[in-house]
Amino acid sequence: MAAHDEQVEKVARAIYEAGPKIRVGSYRWEDLTQLTHAIFYAHARAAIAAMGEGWRDIASAPKDGTWLWLFWPETAYAEDRQCVGHWYRDTDTEYWMDPHDSERGEPTHWRPLPPPPGEKP
């Protein structure tokens, strides 16, 4: 399962668990039909898409090298507060890196990059 699929699975299960338990039979996620799973996956994708419209706390950012849009509130110039970047890790260091590898400190927020022109999210 891809990382995005794992996120959809997690959100779908959370939506299911938060709902009323008025069903007859098993309440276990694993016992639901494929159609029922599909319905919860659709709801999860819609919830994830709605959350993706705004800034997210940096604590929730992926640290797998994925390029993201990052926000640094403590930089000297307003035009430097936002740029693309990613989590960088090698054998002896790890930090948030921007394209210029400048010393910005820690970003506070992130959001996914939009898909390239002509591609669907």
3 pLDDT tier (thresholds 50, 70, 90): very low
Which residue do the tokens 């740029």 mark?
A: 83
Among 105, 111, 54, 116, residue whose Cα is nearest residue 75 = 105
Over residues 35-39, the mean pLDDT reads 82
Predicted confidence at residue 2, as pLDDT, reads: 44
**Mean pLDDT over each residue of the chain, to the nearest integer:** 77
Q: Which two tokens stand for residue 43?
A: 């709801």
7 pLDDT tier (thresholds 50, 70, 90): confident
Over residues 87-115, the mean pLDDT reads 82
